């Protein structure tokens, strides 16, 4: 949980200084993390009594995610426990692991049977206070929102005329069956991509395959559209045979102008859903989450 504030300091205890010495800048930290003052948020601890990574590695899958996801991911149970133990080891070594343990598997709390859109992200935002366990989404209090998300909002306005929101909470999309799934589900604070090839890819590969394998009682595939932004996301396409996909460049500031802007993903997703007999997504987010 976060509170808006005009001070950003994520540090161990400050170094003492004498009256003759100049105080260290408030963002200089013993643990080496430094954050710019334009990210106006203050971190709070996990709720008392919450289960950490090591504790989660001991819990049955059905206590970590929706029952149908637990069944679908049973074959990678051991791998999931191994990567949670890895995250626990990172935390025990003094590294901040994002998102908080209670949010790491948040995407799988949404029942598998209800998913109709898959939006694939890379790994969580590495800035403390941003990652919430849903790809591209951030805590409602984060200001300013990440630039990739700002570009998503810009394209949403160009596509459907929906004005951008000041907050970055995408949970209203998740509530309509949009699975916001990061390919890698944890990261070391301040180090993007640091938890790649640690075991998460096995878990998310199984999850994507499970989505594509769903069938209605008559044997027909359940409605699904994949949104694949960037090369990392595009790599899951072979896991979804027959599933329509909306692909483009990633919304990152480094690539958005090379094919993301103008791609009209939101209207295209809704058109593909309607072709499959499903209702479209209401992409307009609440003004206040």
Catalytic residues: 123
Joined tokens for residue 161:
């005329």
Please choose, from the candidates 128, 70, 58, the residue with its C-alpha nearest in 3D space to the C-alpha of residue 99.
128
Assigned token pair, 50: 């919450």
Which helix (H) or strand (E) element contains residue 268?
A: helix 265-275
**Range 268-271 contact pairs with CB under 8 angstroms and sequence separation of 24 or more:** 269/117, 269/225, 269/227
Please give the sequence-ordered ranges of beta strands (E in DSSP) within the chain, or none if there are none: 2-3, 42-43, 97-98, 117-121, 178-182, 187-188, 225-229, 245-248
Q: How many helices (H) and strands (E) does the chain have?
A: 8, 8
Residue 164 Cα distances to 149, 154, 240, angstroms = 10, 7, 31
Provide the angle, in degrees to the nearest 10, between the axes of the packed helices 200-213 and 77-92: 140
Report which of 163, 162, 178, 125 is spatially closest to residue 147, judged by C-alpha positions.
Answer: 125
């Amino acid at each position: 949980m976060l509170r808006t504030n005009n001070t950003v300091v994520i540090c161990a205890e400050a170094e003492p200084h004498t009256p003759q010495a100049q105080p260290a800048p408030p963002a200089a930290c013993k643990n080496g993390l430094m954050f710019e003052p334009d990210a106006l948020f203050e971190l709070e601890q996990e709720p008392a009594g919450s289960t950490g990574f090591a504790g989660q590695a001991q819990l049955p899958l059905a206590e970590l995610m929706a029952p149908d996801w637990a069944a679908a991911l049973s074959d990678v149970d051991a791998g999931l426990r191994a990567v949670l133990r890895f995250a626990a080891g990172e935390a025990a070594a003094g590294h901040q692991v994002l998102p908080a343990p209670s949010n790491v598997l948040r995407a799988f709390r949404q029942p598998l049977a209800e998913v109709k859109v898959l939006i694939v992200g890379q790994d969580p935002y590495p800035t403390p206070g941003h990652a919430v366990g849903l790809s591209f989404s951030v805590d409602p209090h984060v200001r300013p929102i990440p630039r990739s998300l700002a570009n998503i909002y810009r394209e949403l306005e160009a596509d459907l005329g929906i004005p951008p929101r000041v907050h970055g909470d995408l949970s209203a999309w998740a509530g309509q069956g949009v699975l916001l799934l990061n390919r890698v589900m944890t990261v070391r604070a301040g180090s993007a991509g640091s938890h790649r090839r640690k075991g998460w890819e096995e878990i998310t590969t199984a999850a994507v395959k499970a989505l594509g394998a769903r069938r209605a009682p008559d044997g027909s595939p359940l409605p699904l559209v994949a949104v694949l932004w960037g090369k990392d996301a595009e790599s899951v396409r072979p896991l979804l045979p027959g599933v329509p996909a909306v692909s483009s460049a990633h919304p990152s500031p480094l690539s958005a102008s090379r094919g993301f802007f103008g791609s009209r993903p939101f209207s295209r997703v809704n058109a593909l859903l309607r072709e499959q007999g499903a209702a479209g997504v209401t992409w307009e987010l609440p003004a206040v989450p």
